[in-house]
């Protein structure tokens, strides 16, 4: 492809409202719909205008495996200090399904 042009899909997992209920100061956190819309707006505002990247935002739920654990065609997962352990568990789940692990980007 041309320089500056991406092709593919970027999946963005946003913590669902039900996963936040037990968190300290949960009442101070915006709703899932507001956070998902803000994430999408940020990505649209910051990527190059000719970027062919397809951005898909969806919820992360407590009793469901994340999409990256059940979708083979994923290459990387961005993690934070508090989610690195979850990323490692996700790679274990991928290996159990016969999928290659994703690269964890901290």
Task: Dump pLDDT digits (tens) for 57-94.
Answer: 999 998 888 889 999 999 999 999 989 999 999 999 99
What does the pLDDT average to over 2-10? 60
Quote the pTM value.
Answer: 0.78
What sign results for the dihedral spanned by CA atoms 10, 11, 17, 20? negative
How large a percentage of the chain has pLDDT more than 70?
Answer: 91
Q: For residue 39, count other CB atoms closer than 10 A to its CB.
A: 15
Sketch the domain layout of the chain as residue ranges: 1-60, 65-106
What does the pLDDT average to over 40-64? 84
pLDDT bin (cut points 50, 70, 90) of residue 3 is: very low
pLDDT of residue 55: 85
């Amino acid at each position: 492809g041309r320089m500056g042009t991406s092709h593919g899909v970027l999946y963005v997992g946003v913590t669902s409202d039900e996963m936040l209920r037990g968190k300290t100061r949960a009442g101070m956190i915006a709703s899932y719909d507001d956070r998902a819309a803000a994430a999408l707006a940020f990505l649209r505002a910051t990527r190059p205008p000719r970027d062919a990247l397809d951005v898909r935002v969806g919820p992360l739920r407590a009793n469901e495996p994340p999409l990256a654990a059940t979708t083979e065609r994923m290459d990387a997962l961005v993690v934070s200090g508090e989610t690195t352990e979850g990323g490692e568990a996700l790679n274990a789940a991928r290996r159990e399904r016969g999928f290659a692990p994703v690269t964890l980007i901290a």
